[in-house]
Amino acid sequence: MKKRLVITLLAICLTGGAVFAQIAPLDRIEPACWWVGMKHRNLQLIVHGQRIADRTVSLEYPGVTLTEIHKVENPNYLFLDLHIAPEAQAGNFNIRFTRKGSKDISYSYELKKRNEQQPQGVTSQDLLYLIMPDRFANGDPKNDVVKGMQETALNRDSMYYRHGGDIQGIIDHLDYLQDLGVTALWLNPVLENDQPSASYHGYANTEHYKIDRRYGTNELYRQLASELHKRGMKLIKDLVHNHIGSQHWTMKDLPSKDWVHQWPVYTKSNFREQTQFDPYAAKADKQLMTDGWFDKHMPDINQANSYVRNYFTQSHIWWIEYTGLDGFRLDTYSYNDAGYMQEWGKVMKEEYPTLSFFGETFVKGMPNQVFFTEGNTIHRGFDSELPGVTDFQLLWAITDALTQKPGWDEGVARLYNTLASDFMYKDPMQQVIFLDNHDLSRFFSVVGEDMRKYKSAMAWLLTTRGIPQLYYGAEILMKNFCNPDGLVRSDFPGGWPGDRVNKFTAGGRTAPENEIFDYVKKLANYRKQHAVLQTGKTMQYVPENGVYVYFRYNEEETVMVIMNGSDKDATVETKRFAERLNGVSTGEEINTGTNIDLRNNIQVSAYTTHVISIKHS
């Protein structure tokens, strides 16, 4: 009998550790484990090892069939197509790799029982909180620097170095987030980014099945999901379809030349999303948008390659099953191959009907943004299958509302005009609304650190249609402009042992910081307890004299929002809103508890917003 080398994949499935690094014949198999009972029965394994293509592959397991073996340009790769029948049971089976004159290799592959908990999805009933994990809280200083990883320096005084924040730090502060009124967390990518510099932001991942060790482990990420679910909260994973890091393991030994988009010299994307719907666009411009690299250290993935598509899609399914996460945010959505993203969306909806996902569309212009959402087939002939996007158009609108003088199309009129374009969406409530994020200037700085304007922005965010998203620290007046981006990615004060102040506590915050924290907390928790601000209908009125009024309403209650975007105090005549007030005479200002007489004119100070609860009789 030939000697046989037996290696189990169980360790990597549980820990994400690279157990094959010291074994010359075989480096890895991904995904390292899978599940029975999936709606999609086919699984494609990527196998990497020294001239692995020279070996014969076989397996035997009831309900599992090796249907095809694919060889590519690089003999160090094989792609194995497996069919997992409905009757297949959870268990382990050996995948055998044989070659005459060499030791046989046998790998134990595990099929697991499916996670019974389905994704909860993020909806307009939620309040998202965006965290850059490296900059939020350091719960485990032991993983700040990991031996063997390329970036070894830790320097909190530099915006470009790692600072040490991690998953444990987030878990340690879930009470704070829950108290604030947050119901879902979106973390910037936490997959391994073993890049030589600026790896902290996470958008140049080098592994697809492994949490960055400086953040924690696969198990700890799963624990975060579990801790959130215990609190009735949710977890959103940030995905990058468009590119990988230059140090990604496949870049060190490309499966084929067409794994990434190759150019004679480094060629950057033109970042022109208009080329994707421009009826007059040149093919060269369209190609440069989707196939050009995002940056020198971010190779552009070739999504026309079926092996690439399977590799990415299966990794996303793997994380849902492994952690029970609830949704995805899709980075740089407009740069991707539209056909692949449609295919991806269909697969996700079929496998997980309750999963939610939304795409980043960093664009200007309502048609530009709506083009990428589901239900719009103009000039494409197919549906994108993308339920929602990051609503940059409303961001630009609220920015203008609080920084421009009112006019026919200026100031608060921008909010009215933008919302009036909601007819373009299949479902406006699926759009994610926000004031800032890791790529944008902090909104407190945008409005000149004017507390009146900032409160107005927060009132708008928590009462407008869609899924509201806060960026970490917005609730404590964190500020700065994104020139460069690192300035808006500073550490949350109190997240590190020895910090001079701890702004996770009221005692560590200044009076203005507590004022805005309490304001956001009051509105966020009111929103959490009142369906009218989650799923209620919207009615808006044409702005007059710099004052914009809109209502959220359902059969039980109504909320009236009065925003004065002018530098002058205003008198608002309530009789204009009789259609919505419907004879109700009094309301209550939600934040102050003040009774408002709706029969008389309402005085609204400059740059002030009132949020008024109106109970139906």
132-183 pLDDT per residue, tens: 999 999 999 999 999 999 999 999 999 999 999 999 999 999 999 999 999 9
Residue 19, pLDDT > 80, answer no
Which segment of 4-13, 352-361, 518-527 scores lowest on mean pLDDT?
4-13
The confidence band for 10, taking pLDDT boundaries of 50, 70 and 90, is very low
- The answer to whether position 429 is within a domain reads yes
Q: Which pLDDT belongs to residue 14?
A: 39
pLDDT in tens, 432-471: 999 999 999 999 999 999 999 999 999 999 999 999 999 9
Rounded to whole angstroms, how far apart are CA atoms 195 and 600? 63
Q: Which pLDDT belongs to residue 80?
A: 99
On whether both 351 and 483 belong to a single domain, the answer is yes
- The answer to whether position 263 is within a domain reads no
Residue 615, pLDDT > 90, answer no
Name the domain count of the chain.
3
Rounded to whole angstroms, how far apart are CA atoms 310 and 290? 19
Q: Which pLDDT belongs to residue 378?
A: 80
On whether both 372 and 483 belong to a single domain, the answer is yes
The catalytic residues are 331, 360
- Domain endpoint, select from 504, 529, 554: 529
pLDDT greater at residue 1 or residue 573: 573
CATH number of the domain enclosing 595 = 2.60.40.1180
Helix-strand-coil split of the chain, %, nearest 5: 30, 25, 45
Domain extent at residue 411 = 128-244+324-529
Name the helix (H) or strand (E) containing 347: helix 338-351
Find all residues with CB under 8 Å of 107, minimum gap 6, and list them: 6, 7, 8, 9, 26, 29, 94, 95, 96, 97
DSSP category for residue 159: T
Residues written for the chain:
617
The confidence band for 474, taking pLDDT boundaries of 50, 70 and 90, is very high
Cα 5 to its chain centre, rounded Å, is 41
Q: Max Cα separation, the chain? A: 95
Contact 39, 45 (CB under 8 A): no
pLDDT in tens, 381-399: 889 999 999 999 999 999 9
On whether both 485 and 339 belong to a single domain, the answer is yes
- The answer to whether position 496 is within a domain reads yes
On whether both 398 and 499 belong to a single domain, the answer is yes
- What's the average model confidence in pLDDT over 561-570? 98
- The answer to whether position 609 is within a domain reads yes
Supply 314's token pair: 């299966």
- What's the average model confidence in pLDDT over 27-43? 98
- Domain endpoint, select from 88, 112, 136: 112
Three-class secondary structure assignment of 557-600 = EEEEEEEECCCCCEEECHHHHHHHHCCCCEEEECCCCCEEECCC
- What's the average model confidence in pLDDT over 50-72? 98
**Which parts of 48-160 fold into alpha helices (H)?**
none
- Which 3 state secondary structure label does DSSP give 239? strand
- What's the average model confidence in pLDDT over 284-304? 98
- Angle 218-230/306-323 helices, nearest 10 degrees? 50
- The answer to whether position 105 is within a domain reads yes
CATH number of the domain enclosing 386 = 3.20.20.80
Q: Which pLDDT belongs to residue 16?
A: 39
- The answer to whether position 603 is within a domain reads yes
- What's the average model confidence in pLDDT over 346-365? 98
Amino acid (1-letter code) at residue 467:
I
On whether both 90 and 223 belong to a single domain, the answer is no
Q: Which pLDDT belongs to residue 617?
A: 66
- What is the percent of the chain with per-residue pLDDT over 70, rounded to a whole number? 96
On whether both 572 and 506 belong to a single domain, the answer is no
Q: Which pLDDT belongs to residue 381?
A: 82
The confidence band for 24, taking pLDDT boundaries of 50, 70 and 90, is low
Q: Which pLDDT belongs to residue 407?
A: 96
- The answer to whether position 292 is within a domain reads no
Per the listing, tokens 């990604």 go with 248
Residue 191's Cβ-count burial label (10 Å; 0-12, 13-18, 19+) is: buried
DSSP category for residue 511: H
Helices and strands, number each (H, E), in the chain: 15, 25
- The answer to whether position 300 is within a domain reads no
Torsion angle (degrees, nearest 10) of CA 427, 432, 433, 439: -140
Of 37, 44, 45, 46, which Cα lies nearest the Cα of 85? 37
- Domain endpoint, select from 508, 529, 550: 529
On whether both 403 and 424 belong to a single domain, the answer is yes
Torsion angle (degrees, nearest 10) of CA 414, 419, 420, 424: 130
On whether both 602 and 517 belong to a single domain, the answer is no
On whether both 185 and 208 belong to a single domain, the answer is yes
Q: Which pLDDT belongs to residue 376?
A: 87
Residue 5, pLDDT > 70, answer no
Q: How far is CA 453 from CA 236, 334, 433, 460, in A?
A: 30, 32, 17, 11
CATH number of the domain enclosing 38 = 2.60.40.10
On whether both 132 and 30 belong to a single domain, the answer is no
DSSP category for residue 240: -
Pairing label, strands 388-389, 356-359: parallel
The average confidence (pLDDT) of the chain is: 95
Q: Which residues are registered as beta bridge partners of 572? A: 602
Which segment of 174-178, 374-378, 449-453, 608-612 scores lowest on mean pLDDT?
374-378
Rounded to whole angstroms, how far apart are CA atoms 501 and 494? 6
On whether both 339 and 233 belong to a single domain, the answer is yes
**Which parts of 134-208 fold into alpha helices (H)?**
167-172, 174-180
The confidence band for 15, taking pLDDT boundaries of 50, 70 and 90, is very low
Contact 94, 107 (CB under 8 A): yes
On whether both 555 and 522 belong to a single domain, the answer is no
Name the helix (H) or strand (E) containing 459: helix 451-461
